[in-house]
Structures are given as C-alpha cells and as structure tokens.
Amino acid sequence: MKREIPVAITFIVGTAYLIAYFIPHEPFNYFENWFNDWFAVIAAFAIWLGVLNLIKISTIKIVRKSPDWPYSVLIIVSFIIIVFFGFYEGYRGLYANPHYSFRDPGTSFDWLYVNVYTPLSATMFALLAFFVASASYRAFRARNFEATLLLLAAFLVMLGRVPVGDILTSWLPHQYQLSQWANWIMHVPNTAGQRAIMIGIALGLVSTSLRIILGLERSYLGND
Amino acid sequence: MNLKLIVIFLLMLCLGSFALAETNTVNKDSTAVDSIAPPAPVTMFKAFDTPNDHGHSITLNWQLSADDGAGQNSVLQYQIYRWVPYLMDSLTTLRKAMTTVKEEEIKRGHEKVLKKEMRSLKKEYNAVLKELPSAHKAYPNNGYWKEVGKVPAGTKSYKNTGSKEKESQDYLPDLTDFYYRVDAVTKDSTVRASSKVFGPVQCSGQWFNTGRIPVLVAVILFTFLTIYFVEKAKNGAKLYVRPLSGIEAVDDAIGRATEMGRPILYILGLGSVADIATIASFTILSRVAKQVAEYQTELLVPTYDPLVMAVAQEVVKSAYLDAGRPDDYKEDTVHFVTQSQFAYVAAVNGIMLRELPATNIYMGVFFAESLILAETGALAGSIQIAGTDQIAQIPFFIVACDYTLIGEELYAASAYLGREPLLLGSLKAQDYAKALVIILAIIGLIMSNFGWTQFTDLFKVAN
C-alpha cells in the first residue's frame, strides 16, 4: 500500500491535468488552481521540515566539533537574527496604525535585507563575470575542428555585437558587415540548434510524464 | 509731470489689456475653425462567445472607421462599452463591505459579530449574483454604458475577458445577455461616433478545445508507440538503446571517488519536485546512491528545496537499503541549505572547496548559478557530469563539465540507468517519435519553401 497509493494519486492527478488541458469547461479549468493550492500548502509545511533539518545538522556539527563547525554557529546565529526581526516587525506592524508588513521599507528586517542579504547575493552573482571569462578561455582554445568553429563563431558574434565591428567592415556592403554576420549566426544556426534541443526536451518531457503517470517510473517514491 | 506719466502708463496698460483680450478672442475663433468633425463609426460590428475557452469572455470584431488611417484620419482610438445594469454597482458596494469586514477581522481577530456580518454579506452577494441574468435582460432600462476597454486606431478586434471568480471585481457571468458598442474617438474625446449596439450575446465554456487537436493526436500517437514498445520489451524483444556517454561516465566517476577516498557531490538543482527534470534526477540519484553504498564512498546532497530534500532522503535511504547497507546511511547525507539562489551557490561552493569532492554531478533545473558551480568544481579538480533541460544553461555546462547530458538525454538517462524492459520501451518510443518529428520537419520545410503552408498549418496549436 505504501507504493500503490502514491502511484494511484499520481495517476489520478496526472490524468486530470491532461484532461484539463483539452477541456476548458468548469470544473476542469479549476483543476490547476486546486492542485497548485494543495502544492502550496504542502510546500509551506515543508519549509519547516527544511529549517528543522538545517538546525539539526548544524547543531550536531557544533556539538561534535566537526571540521569547520564555526560556520554552523554562523548559520544558526544568522537564522535566529533574521527570524527574530521578522517576527518582531511582523508583530509590531500588526498592531501599528496604519498596519505595515515586516518587509516594508524602514523596518529592521528590511534593513538587514537591503544592507546584508542583497550585497552578499550581488557579490555571488558578480563572480559570474570572472567565471565567464575563465570558461570562455577554456572553451575557445582551438584544440580541434569543432572548437575552432566555436572560436570563430564567438569571435564574429562578439565583434558584431559592438559598434567597432561595423566600423572595421564599413568598406563592405551593409549585408556583409560584421553585425549582419553576427545576426545570421544567432538567428540561423544558433536558433536551429536550440530548436532541435527544445523538440528533444519536449519529447523527453512527454515520455517521462507518461512513465510517471502510468506508474512505470517509481524511483521518486524511494524504490529503484 | 510725474502724474501725467503715471496716467499715460496706466492708459497704455489698459490698452495693452484690451489688445490681449482681442488676441485671445482671435485665438478662440481660430480654435473654432480647427474643430473636428465627427468621424465615421465602425462598421460590421459583431460580438460572439470567445471560442475554445472556459467562458467569461466575449470577442468583438469590427471594420475600421472610414476616418481611421483614411478620410479625415481623425480616429485615435476605439473605446469599447458594455451595457451593465445598476445591479452591478450593488455588487461593487457589497465587495467593498466584505473587504472592510476582512480588514476588521485582521485588526480585531475573528469576532462572532464580524463573522455574522460576513455571512450575511456573502448571502446578499450571492442573491445579487443570481439576479444578474434577469437584470441584463432588462436592457436598456435600469443600466448604463460602461467602458470596458480601449484599443488604438487600426485595431479591429477586442477580447472582453472577465474573471471566473465570482468575488472578483472583473467577474463576467456566463449565460447572461450582454450588449456592446464601439466608439471611434478623435483627439477631442467628446467628438466620437458610436457603432450600432450588438446584442444580446452570451459567453460560456466549451467542452473541448478544438485548437489543441494536433496535441491530442500527438499524445495518442506517442502513447500508442510507448505501449507498443513496452509490450514488445515485455515479450522479450531485445531493444537497442543509444549509448549515453555522460551516464556511462557515472560508474567511472564513482570508482574514481572511491580510489581517491573523497566524497561525491550530487546537486539536484533549483527545481521543485513538480519539475520533471528534478524527478528524472531522482532516478539518477537513486542509481548513484546505490553504487556509492556498495563502494562505501561518501555522498553529499545539499538541497535547495525542502520538498526535494524530503524525497531525496527517501530515495537515498532506499538505495542504501537495496545495496544491503542500510546502516551506512547518514542523516546528513541529504540536507537542506537554503531557498535563496546565491546563498545556496555560496554554500555549495564552500562544500566544493572544503571537502574537495572527487566527482560533482549536476542533474536537474539550473539557472544563473550553473556556471558559478561548474567553474568552482573545475577549479577544485573534480570530475563533473551535468544534465539539464534549461537551454540557456547547457552551453555553460558543456564548457565547464567533463560530460553533459543535453536536454532530453537527462530524461532518457533515467530509463537508460534502470535497464528495465518497461522503461527501455518508453525510451525506444521517444526515439521513434523524434524520428517522426524530423521527417515531418523536413516535409514542412520543403512545402513551406514552395509556398504550401497548408501542411504546417495542420500543426498550429491554439492557446
């Protein structure tokens, strides 16, 4: 029963979604909303599951003095601070006149968000610029024919995307200037390749969905 | 002398004022000369129930006014009006009252008085809703024309879509008589021409979306192919399955980790359990975890989503059980990190640089973090295998990882790893469907080049 009930639920929900795609009439058009609401409720409970897991793992690390345990202290302290200010501001906002949310500008929660969380996230995101450079360096080494082709295409696209590309080729007719080459590469071979992958993905999605709905694929239930 | 000067100055001031007044009069007259003549109204105006929808929507079509882009060229926009009974205003009033009660409930808590008031308001609201169809039948009495939308000149249609939610202010009831008119409006909004009133027209939901017939045919065909190959596999037929180098490399990567005595890092991505890519990733995780348990290597699975964590825990636990080593399963093998994208990246990068895993496996849904993760893994000297269905991230993985499962290979991997006839049958069906798509695309390409678009039109799908 541990396996049969989830498989049955998956079949019913999957089939309902499939039917709702073809039948716009009530009550089928409400299915998506209902299932999304149920999913949101489950996900809301699961957040606590995640939080408890995080605290449990971090506490065990601190207690056992595992390697790098100070990071776990940092996790718990940061967690307590943000939760405290969130609840504190939420409580105050509820009884203030007019009401305000804990996330509104000017609250201490918002101050932490703007001055601590946002810069830290932006820093991580900014690393992408350096990683793009190092990845490009490795990708564009002309080791074989395909890599050389990639290098050439990248060279043309990058140069064609900036004004200097057209200036360098200004002596050529407009349709042969670098920006036109870059556009052609992006619109023809690149789009064709992407569409091929997209068609493959769509077929893979349908195939996997069918396997899940029919109960052929059950690995997500915890059995191989 | 000074007095004389002052008098002259005052006289000049008065004359100036008269002159200015005269000029204004002249200006007024000139405006009168520029006044706009009323434009021609739209013609062939009709309204009908929007096809292939869930109801609550009316589509309006018309032919442009003779003064739109031609004639006087004075039409700037079209304003669409629907006749609404005064009863609709009662609904608005009741909605406002319900909102006020809700706000009071937030302030004062769920007091009995408020609950009673809310119940009575809802009852009244539902009673008014029931009266709506008969109130609309009373056209043109007890109602007024309400603007429901506007479109710029040159537009020939408008869709008046309302909400299906009865408590929404945009609620558009089904099976109710509606009357519409379209006004051609000039730059002076008072100068306009109204069309003939069209009505009554009703909206209702359809029982089948005919615009999606091509999808239905494809689904039936694909299901048939899958069932055919699954049955074939069940009867013992040997099915050839294309090799997937990325999946074949998993065994070697686990062996490498075992030899080096370092952990394997498995990243399920940022997807939720509702994403098919994440579900496909669970299958691969199951296989990896089973092998890891057999080789007694360490596995690390930091997760982004708590639900994904719960499922992954169950998958890994079962894999250890299947491998006959349930005692080796550690609670912290699969753990939750955070639901913030870049905080998750920071945490996983930290794990990569501190634990120096021998192998990093990225399978699932990835976004901007893909390259940051993969490049950090490459810097840490790990063997990396990736698979995602996010087209924008595939190039990053190809560049930074040793093996990449491109698009549908991620979905095929789950069947490939299982090696069960049932799953291989569906994989075979997927391959045949792909071949069919290629053939159809080639035929479509040839036909379109000859201008025969009838073939490609067969595959058009309506939203």
pLDDT at A211 over 70: yes
The C-alpha atoms of residue A151 and residue A173 are separated, in whole angstroms, by 25
Q: Are residues A46 and B307, on separate chains, in Cβ contact within 8 Å?
A: yes
Residue B1: inside a domain: no
Chain A nearest C-alpha distance from B423 (Å): 7
Residue B17: inside a domain: no
Looking at the structure, tell me whether residues B292 and B377 fall in a common domain.
Answer: yes
Looking at the structure, tell me whether residues B228 and B342 fall in a common domain.
Answer: no
10 Å CB burial of residue B416 (0-12, 13-18, 19+) is buried
Looking at the structure, tell me whether residues B412 and B432 fall in a common domain.
Answer: no
For residue B381, give the H/E element and its range.
none
Tell me if chain A has a CB within 8 Å of the CB of B301. Answer: no
Looking at the structure, tell me whether residues B291 and B414 fall in a common domain.
Answer: yes
H runs (alpha helix) in chain A? 4-22, 31-64, 69-95, 108-112, 118-139, 145-160, 163-168, 178-185, 191-213
Looking at the structure, tell me whether residues B306 and B355 fall in a common domain.
Answer: yes
In chain B, which among 162-181 make CB contacts under 8 A with chain A? 164
Tell me if chain A has a CB within 8 Å of the CB of B217. Answer: no
Q: Choose one of B201, B223, B254: the last residue of a domain.
A: B201
Tell me if chain A has a CB within 8 Å of the CB of B434. Answer: yes
* Contact criterion met (CB below 8 Å) for B244 and B409: yes
Q: Are residues A206 and B222, on separate chains, in Cβ contact within 8 Å?
A: yes
Looking at the structure, tell me whether residues B176 and B216 fall in a common domain.
Answer: no
Mutate to test the interface with B, among A124, A138, A197 (most CBs of B within 10 A): A124
Residue B290: inside a domain: yes
Question: For residue A220, which residues of chain B lie inside 8 Å, CB to CB?
Answer: 273, 279, 282-283, 311, 315
Q: Are residues A208 and B280, on separate chains, in Cβ contact within 8 Å?
A: yes
Residue B415: inside a domain: yes
Q: Choose one of B174, B201, B228: the last residue of a domain.
A: B201
Looking at the structure, tell me whether residues B318 and B369 fall in a common domain.
Answer: yes
Predicted pLDDT of residue B32: 45
Looking at the structure, tell me whether residues B440 and B394 fall in a common domain.
Answer: no
The C-alpha atoms of residue B246 and residue B255 are separated, in whole angstroms, by 15
Q: State the total domains in chain B.
A: 3
Looking at the structure, tell me whether residues B155 and B106 fall in a common domain.
Answer: yes
Q: Side chain identity at B412, as an amino acid letter?
A: A
pLDDT at A1 over 80: no
Tell me if chain A has a CB within 8 Å of the CB of B345. Answer: yes
Predicted pLDDT of residue B226: 87
Looking at the structure, tell me whether residues B344 and B402 fall in a common domain.
Answer: yes
Per-residue pLDDT of chain B in tens (463 residues, 90 and over written 9): 555 666 665 555 545 544 444 444 444 444 444 577 889 999 999 999 999 999 999 999 999 999 998 888 889 999 999 999 998 888 999 999 998 888 887 777 667 788 888 889 999 999 999 999 999 999 888 999 999 999 999 999 999 999 988 888 889 999 999 999 999 999 888 899 999 999 899 999 999 999 999 999 999 999 899 889 888 888 888 888 778 888 888 888 999 999 999 999 999 999 999 899 999 999 899 989 999 999 999 999 999 999 999 999 999 999 999 999 999 999 889 999 999 999 999 999 999 999 999 999 999 999 999 999 999 999 999 999 999 999 999 999 999 999 999 988 888 887 787 677 778 888 888 889 999 999 999 999 999 999 999 999 999 987 7
Looking at the structure, tell me whether residues B316 and B371 fall in a common domain.
Answer: yes
Residue B399: inside a domain: yes
Q: Are residues B223 and A210, on separate chains, in Cβ contact within 8 Å?
A: yes
Mutate to test the interface with A, among B287, B336, B445 (most CBs of A within 10 A): B336
CATH number where B117 lies? 2.60.40.10
Residue B261: inside a domain: yes
Looking at the structure, tell me whether residues B308 and B451 fall in a common domain.
Answer: no
Domain span at B385:
245-419
Question: For residue B318, which residues of chain A lie inside 8 Å, CB to CB?
Answer: 222-224
Residue B153: inside a domain: yes
Q: In this structure, are strands B43-49 and B57-63 parallel, antiparallel, or unpaired?
A: antiparallel
Chain A nearest C-alpha distance from B247 (Å): 16
CATH number where B306 lies? 3.40.50
Residue B13: inside a domain: no
Q: What is the pLDDT of residues A29-88, one digit of tens each?
A: 888 888 889 988 988 888 899 999 999 999 999 999 998 899 999 999 999 999 999 999
Cis-peptide into B200, omega within 30 deg: yes
Mutate to test the interface with B, among A31, A49, A61, A207 (most CBs of B within 10 A): A207
Residue pairs spanning A and B at CB distance below 8 A: 214
